[in-house]
Structure 1
Amino acid sequence: MIQPALIKKQRMLLCILLALILITFVVGMGMGYASLSYDRLIPTLLGQGTFKEEFILFSIRLPRMMITLLAGIALALSGAILQGITRNDLADPGIIGINSGAGAAIAVFFLFFPIKTGSFIYLLPLVAFIGAILTAVLIYMFSYDRNAGLQPVKLVLTGVGFAMALSGIMIVLISSAERSKVDFIAKWLNGSIWGSDWTFVWAIVPWLAVLIPFTLYKANRLNLLALNEPVAVGVGVSIEKERLTLLLTAVALAAAAVSVTGGIAFIGLIAPHMAKALVGPRNQLFLPLAILIGGWLLLLADIIGRNLVEPDGIPAGIIAALIGAPYFIYLLFKK
């Protein structure tokens, strides 16, 4: 039974995080290469702004921030699932190669399968999912031992190897491509938020609308999978079935995110750890917090990145890596 005081603490933290996201949204709406004064935000939101103000807010700032928030949510939840099913605190869709698998699939699709732009956007999450799931299956096979089961350390090392190999493949693929396509893949590799209009928001929303409630429903199964295998089997959990189902969920979440943001790592690593530090390891408590922390961290990273250097800024993936890499090294030494 969860203590009432812990539930109260979680709800208070959820309110604080929602307030942080709202404040960050307000700050982000006014900052950028084309400035928008804060005293004009409310009139513009109410439809009383000039054409320029409404274009900046509704066509540039808001869709980009929504995409960033949703992608951060997806990556954080994917990381939390991966850490639970592998019992490995270093698991993250970017670190263990899943993001690179999605990126390689997108690169192949973009370079060799000409398709109309409208259809291309909605197919991206599906293409990314296919690439990510193939990569995840290979990593799982290389990390699994018939006698000892899944090897957590081997999983990370194998994933890092796959990430490097797939990044190399992408570079080889774009070496002879057209300049415009090379620019796109390069932006993806850097973790630029390249999908920055409302169409991309509608492309990712259905995935999250299904997968977030499903993961929260499976929270208790994640608690049991985090225990050792004999205990989980003893309480009636079909370990391999649950692990496979949740692995598919984590891969789908990561693929949906990186299909519109590019290769962003470490958000899925940091957010679950921060949430666990606040309310403990029980998934029913920390998953909602991890979701909001991940969304807020990527939103903040993008706002910082795009305002550091004008006009193009620094990709959010690089800012996230600057925040997350030291923490990854700390966990590596600790574990």
Structure 2
Amino acid sequence: MIHPSLIRKQRVLLGFFSTVLILTVVIGLQLGDSTVAFERIIATFIGQGTFEEEFVLFSIRLPRIVITILAGVALALSGAILQAVTKNDLADPGIIGINSGAGVAVAIYFLYCPIDSGSFIFMLPFVAFLGAFLTAGMIYALSYRKQSGIEPVRLVLTGVGFSMAFSGLMVVLISSAEREKVDFIVQWMAGDIWGTDWPFVYILLPWLLFLVPVIFWLANSMNILSLHQQASVGVGLRIEKVRLILLLIAVALAASAVSVTGGISFIGLLAPHLAKQLVGPRTQLYLPICLVIGGWLLLVADLIGMNLLQVGNVPAGIVVALIGAPYFVYLLMRK
């Protein structure tokens, strides 16, 4: 039974962050080399804009904004699931190496496999999922102990080790590749959002439409996983089965996101933590706020990198890392 005051608090916060997200979207539609005034945005959306305004809004800015929000939502939910499965507040698909595994798979596919331009963007999420799943399986196996289950410190260290190893492998893979392909992989590694057209929205959106309801359906199981293992078994939860399902969902969300946005870390760390600080650790309460914060954080990072820094376009992954890395160190010292 959730106390009514907590439910009211959650709804107020959800409304607040949703409003902030909408305002950020409006600001993002106005920013860029071709400035579009707010009144012209409204006129364009009701069909009274010029050809240039329609092209700028509907073909350039809006698809990028939608992709960024969807990817932020996917990464935030993936991080929340990983933290629940591992009972580790430091878990994040980027920090523990899942993104790096997806990146290696994408790099191998992009550099060495015959690529059909028509099917390339549709294959990327599946290739990234395969790489991320294999990486997650290896990290899980090396971090698991029969007596104590997942060891949080061991998982973080193992994940960081895999991330560094895959970064080295990336360098080896691109060292003899063509210049054009190397440029793409380097931008991907930096977290430069490259999938900015409507087809990428159609690729990422179905994953979220299918997996998000499943996550909320399993929300109570995520609550039970936070208990001691004996208590979880005592209430009838099939721990290993639930963990495996949740791990597959987390990997799928992270892989689908990074396949179109590149290797972005820390969104899955920051968003769940901020949501839990606001409404507590109850999954049903913090997950809705978590996904809104995740989309907003990545959108803000992309807008800062694209428009506000006077050094050219800075990848969103770098902007997020500048915010998330100090917070990660703070959590590591506190825990």
> Offset of 1:172 from its aligned partner?
1.0
Letter of the aligned partner of 1:64 in structure 2?
R
Percent identical pairs in the alignment equals 63
1: CA distance between counterparts of 2:263 and 2:21?
Answer: 23
- Of the structure 1 ranges 300-309 and 286-295, higher mean CA displacement relative to structure 2 is found in 300-309
How far is 1:307 from its partner?
0.5
The aligned runs of 1:33-182 (5 Å cut-off) are 33-182=33-182
For structure 2, the residue ranges without an aligned partner over 5 or more in a row are: none
Do 1:33 and 1:310's aligned partners in 2 also have CA atoms closer than 8 Å?
A: no
Measured after TM superposition, the shift of residue 32 of structure 1 is 1.1
Once the two structures are overlaid, the 10-residue window that deviates more, 305-314 or 265-274, is 305-314
Task: Name the amino acid aligned to 2:185.
Answer: I
Partner residue, 1:233: 233
Q: Give CA-to-partner distance per residue, 1:86-132, whole Å, 9 cap, x none.
A: 00000000000000011110000111112222211111111100000
- What CA distance in whole angstroms lies between the structure 1 residues aligned with 2:247 and 2:285? 20
Contact 1:33/1:311 (<8 A) preserved: no
CA distance in 2, matches of 1:20, 1:80: 21
For 1:310 and 1:136, the matched residues in 2 are separated by 38
Q: What amino acid does structure 1 have at the position aligned with 2:228?
A: N
CA deviations over 1:245-283 (Å, ceiling 9, x no partner): 100000000001000000000000000010001110000
SS state of the match for residue 117, structure 1? coil
2:309 and 2:33 map into 1 onto residues whose CA distance is 9
Quote the Cα distance in structure 2 between the aligned partners of 1:190 and 1:36. Answer: 29
Q: What is the rounded CA distance, in whole Å, between the counterparts of 2:151 and 2:288 in structure 1?
A: 28
Q: What is the root-mean-square deviation of aligned Cα atoms in Å?
A: 1.0
Question: TM-score w.r.t. structure 2 length?
Answer: 0.98
Amino acid at match of 2:202: W
> 1:1-335 counterparts in 2 under 5 A?
1-309=1-309, 312-335=312-335
Aligned length: 335
Cα deviation for residue 235 of structure 1 reads: 0.5
- List runs of 5+ in structure 1 lacking aligned partners: none
Q: Distance in 2 between matches of 1:260 and 1:241?
A: 30
| Letter matched to residue 40 of structure 1 | R
Is the contact between residue 195 and residue 260 of structure 1 (CA under 8 Å) also seen in structure 2? Answer: yes
1:312 CA displacement: 4.6
Residue 118 of structure 1 aligns to a residue whose secondary structure is: coil
Output one character per residue of 1:49-71: Cα deviation in whole Å (capped at 9) or x when no partner: 12211111111100000000000
- Residue deviations 1:25-62 (CA, integer Å, cap 9, x gap): 00000001222222211111122212211111111100
Instruction: Specify whether residues 58 and 81 from structure 1 end up closer, same or farther in structure 2 by C-alpha distance, changes over 3 A only.
Output: same
For 1:147 and 1:86, the matched residues in 2 are separated by 15
Measure how far apart 1:309 and its partner are.
Answer: 4.1
Please tell me whether the aligned partners of residues 308 and 314 of structure 1 are also in contact (alpha carbons under 8 angstroms): no
Separation (CA, whole Å) in 1 of partners of 2:52 and 2:118: 26
Deviation of residue 311 (structure 1)?
A: 8.4
Q: Matched residues in 2 for 1:207 and 1:141: separation?
A: 26
CA–CA distance in 1 between the matches of 2:117 and 2:274? 39
Structure 1 stretches of 4+ moved >3 Å:
309-312
Distance 2:312 2:186 in 1: 14
